[in-house]
Amino acid sequence: MNAIVEQPQSNNLRARRMALDTHDQPVILTRRDCPVCRSEGFSAHARVRVQNGSRRIIATLYQIDADWLAPGEAGLSESAWHRLQIAEGDEVHLSHPQPLNSLSLVRGRIWGRRFTRQALNDIMTDVAAGRYADIHIAMLLTVMATGGLDEGEVIALTDAMIRAGDTLNWGREPIADKHCVGGLPGNRTTPLVVAIIAACGLWMPKTSSRAITSPAGTADTMETLAPVDLDTNAMRRVVEREGGCIVWGGAVRLSPVDDMLIRVARVMDLDAEAQLVASVLSKKIAAGSSHLVLDLPVGPTAKIRERTEAEELGLRLKSVAEHFGLATRVLITDGRAPVGRGIGPALEARDIISVLGRHADAPTDLRERALVLSAELLELTGAARPGEGRAQAEQTLDSGAAASKFEAICVAQGGLRQPPVARRRYLILAKRRGRVLSIDNRRLGRVAKLAGAPGAPAAGVELHCTLGDSIEREQPLYTIHAETTGELNYAREFAFSNGDIIDIAEPD
Amino acid sequence: MNAIVEQPQSNNLRARRMALDTHDQPVILTRRDCPVCRSEGFSAHARVRVQNGSRRIIATLYQIDADWLAPGEAGLSESAWHRLQIAEGDEVHLSHPQPLNSLSLVRGRIWGRRFTRQALNDIMTDVAAGRYADIHIAMLLTVMATGGLDEGEVIALTDAMIRAGDTLNWGREPIADKHCVGGLPGNRTTPLVVAIIAACGLWMPKTSSRAITSPAGTADTMETLAPVDLDTNAMRRVVEREGGCIVWGGAVRLSPVDDMLIRVARVMDLDAEAQLVASVLSKKIAAGSSHLVLDLPVGPTAKIRERTEAEELGLRLKSVAEHFGLATRVLITDGRAPVGRGIGPALEARDIISVLGRHADAPTDLRERALVLSAELLELTGAARPGEGRAQAEQTLDSGAAASKFEAICVAQGGLRQPPVARRRYLILAKRRGRVLSIDNRRLGRVAKLAGAPGAPAAGVELHCTLGDSIEREQPLYTIHAETTGELNYAREFAFSNGDIIDIAEPD
């Protein structure tokens, strides 16, 4: 009774570039009546393997019952097009993806089984290869957030994330690094610290992230001042010349899984400890860092709300970091209010420039934090003796050495830029006089995001007051910056219905 | 300094039907240079609100830099098109969606806060309105699976799922219902039980699901015998005429959220207890059922592996059901092997027809299970006295009354159909002689799914042996049925590399 099993016919289709931006999700469009789909039994929204020579991706398949695509054509989204490195008219081969076995390990964690080292390696390998759909990544992130991973799992996760990407080896020590566990709008110390440390003669090849849920990440801010999409070789050239750089981590393929997780975490608006620890440290370790200072701001509306929580997270970070031989110092800092004046990429960039330029109106809190972190890093690496880091950092900043170094780094990264200025603004005024009691980091960040940050780099919030200030009625509290009327309106409406973002106590 | 805030220009675009099947995910395509997108600052892959008169949906926005769409056009996927009930050339209005506030309640559950009744209502309202992207639903499902919900939460979830859809009121009692907690391939008793119970004069308006992770759901199987996409009015007409029906729950909008969750759960390959309980019971309660018999098969490769687990789940189901006034009886049954011969919609339909027709080769295990469940239901509703249900059920089946009733129901639902027959088959033979020790439900289900079930209704597996059978070498174990060569090959390869799906012990 066994029929001779026919060999499937050539599963090839002609690639057509649809100029379709689906963000990072690779999409392939085919006619429902195309012979390949019929013979393979692909149904719409299935995941299919698409191959071009030795390059292959897993893409989401959408099917069409219309003539804007020919039966022999495969329409590819931009993300699919670039990953396959294809040319118009090339053929792509379609097939069913292998079963996603590592997903059962994620499900197993839901039912309470711990992740083994091998499990996390398998999962991260599949994520890195693009085999996980967004739904699967969302499941993985939620699993990692719920109940948390134990230290062994976090170490294994960090290791798996490092292995799924490239690593850098600078052939020397120390390699200085810093990181701030986000949640504090405007706290853009990294470019300042890199400038100071590199000006002191240490190497600080910094890779930074884009925003996860905040209005700006360091990479977003830095991008308004200089190119940040440098590959490994370009980054190495900058560091060898200037001793420092501030580039986007994703472009150098250090822990590339991290960026894939971050993209989905952003939609979920979720930050989880295990992912946070592995995300921070995998990037640092893959980047070849030997000495790390961590800034953990604490405040009622910061990411970390309680000092005890910061202490625990700090211990976890330090412990995992030192497992990998990364010397680490943790600073718990004041996170009650935004730092500097700007919130949003370009507005934060302006603060940086004014601190480096020692302008009279430069934000003192941002300057202070940069000095504290630089001092710790100088002492941790042994570049300064205990107690002498502060003076060295201050001298480097005040002499203009840090400013010159920053400019040189920007030039080496591809040229110093002028941060853009938003086309539309709206000023939010105090509704009564009194003293500034509190500033809600989260809701102020939301205003900046509604105004378009970080997608629109010039958008965001410019603060005109800080904690403890005495305010008159109708005095400016902050300015909303936006590129479009629609976004300005959304931010404005949110600001109006949240009049207590800046909480002003009645005068006695 | 405040500029006059410009009113956004008309955010309207001309709707164009793209005949694009993105499954249930609404997608809208626009030119990146269209004025609406520029003025509103929509970025690719953003979620946007699309409005047509009083109808509005949240859709995923993909942007195009090419001429296959005009700047004033909005290309809509089929799912978006149908939900907006739009006509070609109509205008749609685009805007930013409201912030998804209920998502913070889902995140709160990750951090250990319990769900309140209000929280679950808010979440389910947003899910029902299509405000949750697949990523958000994946997060919700994972949260509900991890650690489980407590009974108060499950009751609140069930209630919220009922409220998010329509409810039926039959104006009489009892209304009989049954449910099997899946995982047992081929266990297609529902159509048999409905036929027997309705033939006994009781009302049994059955709504069933499509497959979540299995090769066939009751709705998939029934659809090969009669239409199942009946709306509420059509369903009511069938039940008023025949006393019973077997329709797809999604078409009658009973607990519509359930189907949205199931679509994502299927991609995740995840079944979670809280979702299971709420899913099962919200459908039953919304359907107006008063008496419910639950079949919980237990076996090493069934969904429920341990008897104690079944007992706990049974108690949870009974307790939540009775909170809503639904009288419930739980049967824990043998789930060590598939039931009947067919696995896959059409193959299971054939088993049903042969049991109803009292064919000599009708599968006795399927018949036996249908009789046991019918007997319990007759006794639970009081239609039979304790101990007399079995005889009544048997008499109804053996007299042909159940067969006539089933035919009448099919005709009332729109006409009895002949189940399709697959175009390709492949026979798997025993590699040695011996006795059938075990049959792996899961991997056999996987063979059926790789062969194309349930998407291809004729596809699946036809079993030629059962537990305890004595088998000769080269004796047929099962036949793979498929519609396409590609699928047949995938199923065959999996069967070859899993030669122990049917485990044959060496003879003594």
Instruction: Check residue B256 and give its pLDDT.
Output: 86
**What is the mean predicted confidence (pLDDT) over A196-203?**
98
Q: Residue B247 belongs to what H/E stretch?
A: strand B244-248
**Which residue on chain B is closest to A39 by alpha carbon?**
B484
**What is the mean predicted confidence (pLDDT) over A247-261?**
84
Instruction: Quote the minimal CA–CA distance from B337 to chain A in Å.
Output: 22
pLDDT at A406 over 50: yes
pLDDT (tens digit per residue) in B454-484: 989 999 999 999 999 999 999 999 999 999 9
* Record: contact A147-B145, CB cut-off 8 A: no
Q: What's the pLDDT band for A44 if we cut at 50, 70, 90? A: low
Among partner residues A22, A110, A138, which is closest to B145 by beta-carbon distance?
Answer: A110
Instruction: Indicate the SS3 state at residue A284.
Output: helix
Q: Residue A199 belongs to what H/E stretch?
A: helix A190-199
Rounded Cα–Cα distance for residues B241 and B126 (Å): 37
**Which residue on chain B is closest to A62 by alpha carbon?**
B22
Asked if A399 has any chain B CB less than 8 Å from its own CB, the reply is no
Asked if B455 has any chain A CB less than 8 Å from its own CB, the reply is yes
pLDDT at A280 over 60: yes
* Record: contact A40-B272, CB cut-off 8 A: no
Instruction: Quote the minimal CA–CA distance from A424 to chain B in Å.
Output: 8
Tokens representing B198 are 């309705």
pLDDT at A422 over 90: yes
**Which residue on chain B is closest to A144 by alpha carbon?**
B110
Instruction: Check residue B89 and give its pLDDT.
Output: 86
* Record: contact A3-B268, CB cut-off 8 A: no
Among partner residues B39, B147, B483, which is closest to A485 by beta-carbon distance?
Answer: B39
**What is the mean predicted confidence (pLDDT) over A108-126?**
93
SS3 per-residue string spanning A327-394: EEEEEEEECCCCCCCEECHHHHHHHHHHHHCCCCCCCHHHHHHHHHHHHHHHHHCCCCCCCCHHHHHH
Rounded Cα–Cα distance for residues B478 and B465 (Å): 7
Residues 257 to 296 of B: which have CB under 8 A from any A CB? 264, 267-270, 272
Compute the Cα dihedral for B407, B413, B416, B422 and give only its sign: negative
pLDDT (tens digit per residue) in A389-398: 999 999 999 9
Among partner residues A3, A145, A427, which is closest to B2 by beta-carbon distance?
Answer: A427
Burial (CB count <10 Å: 0-12, 13-18, 19+), residue A309: middle
* Record: contact B107-A63, CB cut-off 8 A: no
* Record: contact A66-B425, CB cut-off 8 A: no
Instruction: Quote the minimal CA–CA distance from B150 to chain A in Å.
Output: 16
Among partner residues A20, A68, A483, which is closest to B62 by beta-carbon distance?
Answer: A20
Instruction: Check residue A464 and give its pLDDT.
Output: 97
Instruction: Check residue A41 and give its pLDDT.
Output: 64
* Record: contact B32-A21, CB cut-off 8 A: yes
Q: Is B271 a catalytic residue?
A: yes
Contacts of B425 in chain A (CB under 8 A): 1-3
**Interface with A, mutate which of B17, B30, B139, B423 (most A CBs under 10 A):** B139
pLDDT (tens digit per residue) in B388-410: 999 999 999 999 999 999 999 99
Among partner residues A27, A40, A147, which is closest to B146 by beta-carbon distance?
Answer: A147
Contacts of A486 in chain B (CB under 8 A): 8, 39-41, 96
Length of chain B: 508
Residues 126 to 145 of B: which have CB under 8 A from any A CB? 133-139, 141-143, 145
Decide if B58 contacts B48 (C-beta within 8 A): yes
Instruction: Check residue B455 and give its pLDDT.
Output: 86
* Record: contact A2-B427, CB cut-off 8 A: yes
pLDDT at A479 over 80: yes
Q: Residue B58 belongs to what H/E stretch?
A: strand B55-64
**DSSP line for A409-458:** HHHHHT---PPP--SEEEEEE-SS-EEEEEE-HHHHHHHHHHTTTTTSTT
* Record: contact B268-A147, CB cut-off 8 A: no
Asked if B39 has any chain A CB less than 8 Å from its own CB, the reply is yes
Q: Which of B271, B351, B365, B440 is catalytic?
A: B271
Contacts of B486 in chain A (CB under 8 A): 8, 39-41, 96
Among partner residues B41, B44, B483, which is closest to A41 by beta-carbon distance?
Answer: B483
In the sheet with A176-180, reading across from the earlier edge strand, the strands are: A176-180, A291-298, A327-334
pLDDT at A5 over 90: no
Instruction: Check residue A9 and give its pLDDT.
Output: 46
Q: What's the pLDDT band for A343 if we cut at 50, 70, 90? A: very high
Instruction: Check residue A39 and give its pLDDT.
Output: 62
pLDDT at A97 over 90: no
* Record: contact B40-A135, CB cut-off 8 A: no
Q: Residue B246 belongs to what H/E stretch?
A: strand B244-248
Instruction: Indicate the SS3 state at residue A127.
Output: helix
Intervals of chain B under pLDDT 50? 1-9
Report the catalytic residues of A: 271
Tokens representing B64 are 């195009």
Instruction: Check residue B1 and give its pLDDT.
Output: 40
Q: Largest alpha-carbon pair distance within chain B?
A: 95
Asked if A492 has any chain B CB less than 8 Å from its own CB, the reply is yes
Asked if A425 has any chain B CB less than 8 Å from its own CB, the reply is yes
Mean pLDDT, rounded, of chain A = 91
**What is the mean predicted confidence (pLDDT) over A157-176?**
95
Decide if A231 contacts A222 (C-beta within 8 A): no
Asked if B110 has any chain A CB less than 8 Å from its own CB, the reply is yes
Burial (CB count <10 Å: 0-12, 13-18, 19+), residue A233: exposed
* Record: contact A103-B3, CB cut-off 8 A: no
Calculate ∠ Cα A263-A266-A269, nearest 5°: 155
Instruction: Check residue A182 and give its pLDDT.
Output: 73
**Interface with A, mutate which of B21, B48, B309 (most A CBs under 10 A):** B21
**Interface with B, mutate which of A210, A313, A485 (most B CBs under 10 A):** A485
Decide if A97 contacts A129 (C-beta within 8 A): no
Instruction: Check residue A251 and give its pLDDT.
Output: 75
* Record: contact A138-B143, CB cut-off 8 A: no
